[in-house]
Amino acid sequence: MTTPRGSELGHSGSLPPAGRDEVVAATLVAAADLFAERGPAATSIRDVASRAGINHGLIHRHLGSKDALVASVLDYLGQHLADLLAKQAPAEVVEAAIDRQLRVVARTILDGYPIGELQSRFPNVEQLLDFTRSYFDDDVDARLAAAHAIALPLSWRLFGAFLRAATGLKDLTEQQLDDSIQRTVDRIATGGDPARPITGVQLLGTGDVP
């Protein structure tokens, strides 16, 4: 796991978080990392507080219940990735953010949380919808294309090991798989016209959730 930098935590990194803004920022980063590692169900408020270097009572005070914390983390991850894409952050930084977001999403779903009710903002999906709408006249078709484009790589992340074994693709390299998924996502999102492939909306890696 990559240790969060002080800039992401909202403080210098040498001193414990102080004040509401720093406490919330540190909490969200710590919770996101823990949820990515083990899922929200296996992560307690005390675990998050320990990772963030704060008293657990501050999490209850500033963010509320466990469900409220999960909701805040989901919104934070979506906005964090959108911000990285907007400022054209280095590819490896964006990829790490994507990986963390998808791991949290996958584990939150597998843990039985109602993610569709908890997450209130989907900035990266809005970017994808803007893209698909340039190819589809009907808004429902554009939304379906975006949903299908997200579902394919997310399914590979959740069920990659099974899909490889069932279809005889165990020897396929990760790069070959990534390239194939990206080409297929491009076709889905453009209605079969790959002339304008998706750029900057790489929602999705293909590695399995361990």
pLDDT digits (tens, 9 = 90+) for 188-204: 999 886 666 554 444 44
75 and 148 part of one domain:
no
146 and 111 part of one domain:
no
16 and 43 part of one domain:
yes
At 83 the pLDDT is 92
Each residue's pLDDT tens digit, 95-139: 889 889 988 998 999 999 998 899 888 888 888 899 999 999 999
pLDDT band at 1 (very low <50, low <70, confident <90, very high): very low
CA distance 175 to 34: 27
Give the mean model confidence (pLDDT) for residues 48-68: 94
Give the mean model confidence (pLDDT) for residues 76-102: 90
At 8 the pLDDT is 57
Each residue's pLDDT tens digit, 140-181: 999 999 999 989 988 888 889 999 999 999 999 999 998 999
18 and 105 part of one domain:
yes
Ordered DSSP codes for the chain: -PPPPHHHHTS-SSS---SHHHHHHHHHHHHHHHHHHH-STT--HHHHHHHHTS-HHHHHHHH-SHHHHHHHHHHHHHHHHHHHHHTT--HHHHHHHHHHHHHHHHHHHHTT--HHHH----HHHHHHHHHHHTT-SSHHHHHHHHHHHHHHHHHHHHHHHHHHHHHT-TT--HHHHHHHHHHHHHHHHTTT-TTS---S------PPP-
At 50 the pLDDT is 95
Domain ranges, residue 20: 6-118
Structural domain contains residue 111: yes
18 and 48 part of one domain:
yes
Structural domain contains residue 198: no
User: Percentage of the chain surpassing pLDDT 90?
Assistant: 60
79 and 177 part of one domain:
no
Structural domain contains residue 179: yes
The answer, yes or no, to whether residue 15 has pLDDT greater than 80, is no
At 76 the pLDDT is 96
CA 54 to chain CA centroid, Å, is 25
Which tokens sit at 30? Answer: 């710590």
Given the structure tokens 């998706």, which residue do they identify? 198
User: Percentage of the chain surpassing pLDDT 70?
Assistant: 85
pTM above 0.85, yes or no: no
CATH of the domain at 54: 1.10.357.10
Q: Which of 95, 118, 141 is the last residue of a domain?
A: 118
Is the CB of residue 123 less than 8 Å from the CB of residue 86? no
Structural domain contains residue 137: yes
32 and 62 part of one domain:
yes
33 and 88 part of one domain:
yes
Structural domain contains residue 91: yes
At 200 the pLDDT is 42
Q: What's the whole-number average pLDDT of the chain?
A: 86
32 and 110 part of one domain:
yes
10 and 104 part of one domain:
yes
The answer, yes or no, to whether residue 208 has pLDDT greater than 60, is no
CA distance 76 to 31: 10
113 and 138 part of one domain:
no
89 and 185 part of one domain:
no
Structural domain contains residue 204: no
Domain count, the chain: 2
